[in-house]
Amino acid sequence: MAPSMRDLQLTAVNGAAADDMEDVRLLDSYEDRTEDNLLRIEEGMKRIQVRITGMTCAACSTSVEGALMAVNGVVKASVALLQNKADVVFDPNSVKDEDIKNAIEDAGFEAEILTEPCSSGSKPHKIQLGQFTIGGMTCAACVNSVEGILRDLHGVKRAVVALATALGEVEYDSTVISKDDIINAIEDAGFEGSFVQSSEQDKIVLGVTGVFYELDVQFLEGILINLKGVRQFRFDRTSGELEVLFDPEVVSSRSLVDGIEGGSNGKFKLHVMNPYARMTSRNVEEASNMFRQFTSSLFLSIPVFFIRVICPHIPLLDALLLWRCGPFLMGDWLKWALVSVVQFVIGKRFYIAAGRALRNGSTNMDVLVALGTSASYFYSVGALLYGAVTEFWSPTYFETSAMLITFVLLGKYLECLAKGKTSDAIKKLVELTPATALLVVKDKGGKCIEEREIDALLIQPGDTLKVLPGTKLPADGVVVWGTSYINESMVTGESVPVSKEINSLVIGGTINLHGALQIQATKVGSDAVLSQIISLVETAQMSKAPIQKFADYVASIFVPTVVAMSLLTLLGWYIGGVIGAYPEEWLPENSNYFVFALMFSISVVVIACPCALGLATPTAVMVATGVGANNGVLIKGGDALERGQQVKYVVFDKTGTLTQGKATVTTAKVFVGMDRGEFLTLVASAEASSEHPLGRAIVEYARHFHFFDDPSPDQNATNHKTESTVSGWLHDVSNFSALPGRGVQCFINGKGVLVGNRKLMTESGITIPTHVENFVVELEESAETGILVAYDNNLIGVLGVADPLKREAAVVVEGLVKMGVRPVMVTGDNWRTARAVAKEVGIQDVRAEVMPAGKVDVIRSFQKDGSVVAMVGDGINDSPALAAADVGMAIGAGTDIAIEAADYVLMKSNLEDVITAIDISRKTFHRIRLNYVFAMAYNVIAIPVAAGVFFPLLGIILPPWAAGACMALSSVSVVCSSLLLRRYKKPRLTTILEITVE
């Protein structure tokens, strides 16, 4: 049964057309402020949208477009078949809205002009980034062809296509072109196109069970028609998938599923189709299909090869094959029959792909395969027919066609395996999230009235979810009831379970080890940590390294060059034989000059292949990003890898990067007659409103001082503790202000309070006595930060705050030095503390008292001589520096800013992964260079051999079937070379530091 599509809701929502159904895969839509005039409607033109009923196929949409363009005054008409909508731009002085409607109805369709039409310049551009799967690409030339077609589409701003992942990312203006238009353009070019499920909440793909008959389909459609908020739907009975576009302001995805299941009285059962799981299953299906084709071709090709090579040495079989059956020998009949199946049944895909490429005005590997196999096949058929007529039997090359197709399919199968292997990281991440979740339904008083199981992909922000011991957390959220320990190693890499209590943050996909919890979902869908990681890995695997541009250029001109070389080879050997440039004894038995020349010509076409060149970079990048993800290092793609292997300087932020980021108060000294407890209460009151880590450490220290014997952290006690610690013992504060780089100031009991560094005290006119200064210096020389406190214009005390170093910091710094990388430390802390910390970790180059914006200047100072600089920060206040560096490395598990600003995200928050990131980059580019050596050297050597350059001197002839084997082996060698990166092992610090462990 053909998929059905129904339009259901024709009203506008919030002043916009209700069918504005564009989706975004990786990024939210944003307004284009830099190119506002790029696609602006000409002055005086009017734009309307028309709902069209009755279109069933592409011919219908073409007919409507033709009818509209035939109307005098219509400037542009675009018809979207799946949306049943037409977008028309016209001159209102020449044609009216009603004329547009009449033209459509005269063409045999029903039309309705939608409300809120867009006039000139009134509708802002809506730039979106969509991701599409593209099937049928075979080499870099295909990629260039698809990219060119997409970039030429009106409304498309940018298009990137990746061969290795068969994915394309398209940035487009949804007010000008829809995703369906993009898919149509891909399919019109001869490739297969489909849209990857969006992160927008207006589209859902559901698997439906319980549909067996036509009446069931009609029943399902009837339910959907009566559901409010449903815009369009399409059910594919073959796959059992239901695609629904809906208005998220009217109906949620969960209520949509509940409405369908409830409306069927339980007859239909629905589950949400995970887009990443669907893509993985497509990869598996593609590999399985390619393996079947390869084995079928191999099964038919082995007898052909056996007849040619083995049978002549077995008298009985040779006699049987030499038995004449009609005009031909039995062996010729067998080879012709077997190879015809390989050539036109199994090899049909190469003719289709070659025709697609030629139709688009490009050439690719399929053109070479189709040309080479066709030349050998049709020449062999012609030789047989010619021999039957003239009794002059020339040699045939049937085995060339069969073996070439077999070897090419082998290479394609290995490429599919490479895709499948390198998607393991995404597959593992997808499997982390459970399929279902236990939803807790509460009444208005907060009392639980029901617990029911729902699909985990239907969780909404604000849902309360119950997590039983031993199960996975279904979503990111915050604990609202219970205490437990969570194993977060699958995300953070930290093997020690983390204690969780009320108000603790939790990450979806992690495992609840002990007690039962109730969590409130905060981030779902594309906002969740795991979804962001998956998107990052997926985007990285389809990115292109700059070095690949050279390969793409070579591939684009390679095929025409090879065809020209093949023709020159044919003419050279043929003319050379005719004029007597070489002796007739060189000719094989029963051959002539043309057949002899044709053999070399076919070998040139067969052996030359740009596929290996096109696969050299993307396969290595795919494997490297997958390997990095498995090792806790998320890499943003080939561009990041290329810069990462050139790093000369690594700039470390101090707090939270080299240190643990968990500041603790070590000393509290009062220099006046004030009680120690009152002093701490005063300082904690001033810092209670501060978000700075040092401020939180001070408040925590004071709280423990006053409430050392806190009650057990059950829910009531926690609420009581929060109230008492915030409002019960702290002073009232007025006129609070945080002073970046200096401290905080406020008023308590009408008197000024200052908590901060020397600079704050000096600026405020507070005198620092010599004995206080000496005490602060002692703290700083011990790698502690001295916090000065002034009250009522008098300095009353000092707090010493220490942030312990990460245990691996010193050895990582030493390891970088051994690798030829120069470490640098930047911090906003004072010079004495900075020097003390730097001395402990072994960093020679220190930049202290640097404000966050000043870190960018430090990085640029190293970049002046062209050096590649990496910045390692916590991904929050270091985001400008992460973006300014050539290579940004964010420490921390999946923060939004880290993913946005950094090139590498070190998920385990372990400094050893800085070495891992650089080492992966270096090993990957070593492998890429090796791949290019395989690909380039192969063609440089193989093509002259195939052309017969060495035949006059050495007597070397490369038969076409052997040339086909060599061609396939070039791609196999590159793919296998890249797959060797899967054996990557993290460098051991003992090896880098040349430490011998006894």
pLDDT band at residue 32 using 50, 70 and 90 as cut-offs: very low
Question: For residues 142 and 360, what is the distance between their CA atoms, to the nearest angstrom?
Answer: 10
The reported pLDDT for the residue numbered 141 is: 65
> Which helix (H) or strand (E) covers residue 647, if one does?
strand 647-653
> Considering only 35-39, 435-439, 599-603, 767-771, which range has the smallest mean pLDDT?
35-39
247's tokens:
């208005």
pLDDT band at residue 790 using 50, 70 and 90 as cut-offs: very high
pLDDT band at residue 610 using 50, 70 and 90 as cut-offs: low
The yes-or-no verdict on residue 12 having pLDDT over 50 is no
The reported pLDDT for the residue numbered 664 is: 85
> Considering only 538-547, 607-616, 678-687, 898-907, which range has the smallest mean pLDDT?
538-547
The reported pLDDT for the residue numbered 240 is: 81
Q: Domain 458-524 class? A: mainly beta
The reported pLDDT for the residue numbered 38 is: 31
Q: How much is the average pLDDT of 263-291?
A: 74
pLDDT band at residue 27 using 50, 70 and 90 as cut-offs: very low
Q: How much is the average pLDDT of 478-501?
A: 79
Q: How much is the average pLDDT of 87-107?
A: 84
- The pairs formed by 587-592 with CB atoms below 8 angstroms and a separation of 24 or more are 588/395, 589/395, 590/392, 590/393, 590/394, 590/395, 591/394, 591/395, 592/394
The reported pLDDT for the residue numbered 26 is: 26
Closest to 114 in 3D by CA, of 234, 13, 249: 13
Q: Which of 635 and 717 is assigned the larger pLDDT?
A: 635
Question: For residues 802 and 668, what is the distance between their CA atoms, to the nearest angstrom?
Answer: 12
The yes-or-no verdict on residue 637 having pLDDT over 50 is yes
Contact (Cβ atoms closer than 8 angstroms) between residue 290 and residue 412:
yes
The reported pLDDT for the residue numbered 797 is: 93
> Considering only 204-218, 399-413, 723-737, 861-875, which range has the smallest mean pLDDT?
723-737
> Considering only 337-351, 418-432, 703-717, 769-783, which range has the smallest mean pLDDT?
703-717
The reported pLDDT for the residue numbered 161 is: 81
> Considering only 50-59, 204-213, 324-333, 611-620, which range has the smallest mean pLDDT?
50-59
Contact (Cβ atoms closer than 8 angstroms) between residue 47 and residue 146:
no
CATH architecture of 631-660+805-920: 3-Layer(aba) Sandwich (3.40)
Percentages of the chain per state (helix, strand, coil), in multiples of 5 = 50, 20, 30
Whether 127-196 shares its CATH topology with 203-273 is answered yes
Whole-prediction pTM = 0.61
pLDDT band at residue 10 using 50, 70 and 90 as cut-offs: very low
Question: For residues 460 and 456, what is the distance between their CA atoms, to the nearest angstrom?
Answer: 9
What is the share, in percent, of the chain residues with pLDDT greater than 90?
Answer: 7
Closest to 872 in 3D by CA, of 923, 825, 908: 825
| C-alpha dihedral (60, 65, 70, 76), degrees to nearest 10 | 180
> Considering only 262-271, 457-466, 614-623, 939-948, which range has the smallest mean pLDDT?
614-623
pLDDT band at residue 199 using 50, 70 and 90 as cut-offs: very low
Q: What are phi and psi of 769, to 5 degrees?
A: -60, 155
The reported pLDDT for the residue numbered 796 is: 92
What is the share, in percent, of the chain residues with pLDDT greater than 70?
Answer: 79
Q: Which of 901 and 512 is assigned the larger pLDDT?
A: 512
> Considering only 57-61, 123-127, 160-164, which range has the smallest mean pLDDT?
123-127
Q: How much is the average pLDDT of 845-856?
A: 78
The reported pLDDT for the residue numbered 424 is: 57
182's tokens:
């993009």
The reported pLDDT for the residue numbered 821 is: 92
Q: DSSP letter at 510?
A: -
The yes-or-no verdict on residue 754 having pLDDT over 90 is yes
Contact (Cβ atoms closer than 8 angstroms) between residue 158 and residue 131:
no
127-196: what fold? Alpha-Beta Plaits (3.30.70)
Q: Domain 664-707+732-802 class? A: alpha beta
The yes-or-no verdict on residue 494 having pLDDT over 90 is no
pLDDT band at residue 44 using 50, 70 and 90 as cut-offs: low
The reported pLDDT for the residue numbered 207 is: 83
DSSP 912-951: HHHHHHHHHHHHHHHHHHHHHHHHHHHHHHHHHHHTTTTH
Q: How much is the average pLDDT of 12-40?
A: 31
The yes-or-no verdict on residue 831 having pLDDT over 50 is yes
Question: For residues 104 and 99, what is the distance between their CA atoms, to the nearest angstrom?
Answer: 9
Q: How much is the average pLDDT of 247-260?
A: 81
Residue spans of the domains in the chain: they are 46-114, 127-196, 203-273, 278-435, 458-524, 631-660+805-920, 664-707+732-802
Q: How much is the average pLDDT of 280-294?
A: 75
Which residues carry out catalysis? 653
Q: Which of 836 and 33 is assigned the larger pLDDT?
A: 836
Angle subtended by helix axes 770-781 and 831-841, to nearest 10? 20
The yes-or-no verdict on residue 470 having pLDDT over 70 is yes
The reported pLDDT for the residue numbered 19 is: 33
Q: Which of 595 and 744 is assigned the larger pLDDT?
A: 744
Q: For the domain with range 46-114, which CATH number is right: 1.10.3720.10, 3.40.50.880, 1.10.760.10, 3.30.70.100?
A: 3.30.70.100
Q: Which of 829 and 749 is assigned the larger pLDDT?
A: 749
Q: Which of 710 and 200 is assigned the larger pLDDT?
A: 200
The reported pLDDT for the residue numbered 309 is: 75
pLDDT tens column, 98-150: 888 888 887 777 788 875 433 333 334 466 777 787 877 766 667 777 888 88
Of 588-597, 819-828, 886-895, give the range with the top mean pLDDT: 819-828
203-273: what fold? Alpha-Beta Plaits (3.30.70)
The mean of the pLDDT values for the chain is: 77
The yes-or-no verdict on residue 714 having pLDDT over 80 is no
The reported pLDDT for the residue numbered 37 is: 33
> Considering only 53-57, 167-171, 590-594, 923-927, which range has the smallest mean pLDDT?
53-57
- Please state the separation of Cα 482 from the chain's center in Å: 36
Q: Which of 77 and 771 is assigned the larger pLDDT?
A: 771
> Which helix (H) or strand (E) covers residue 826, if one does?
strand 822-826
The beta-strand segments (E) located in 126-201 are 127-135, 156-162, 167-173, 192-195
Q: Which of 424 and 296 is assigned the larger pLDDT?
A: 296
pLDDT tens column, 389-444: 877 777 787 887 887 788 778 777 776 766 655 555 566 666 677 778 888 887 77
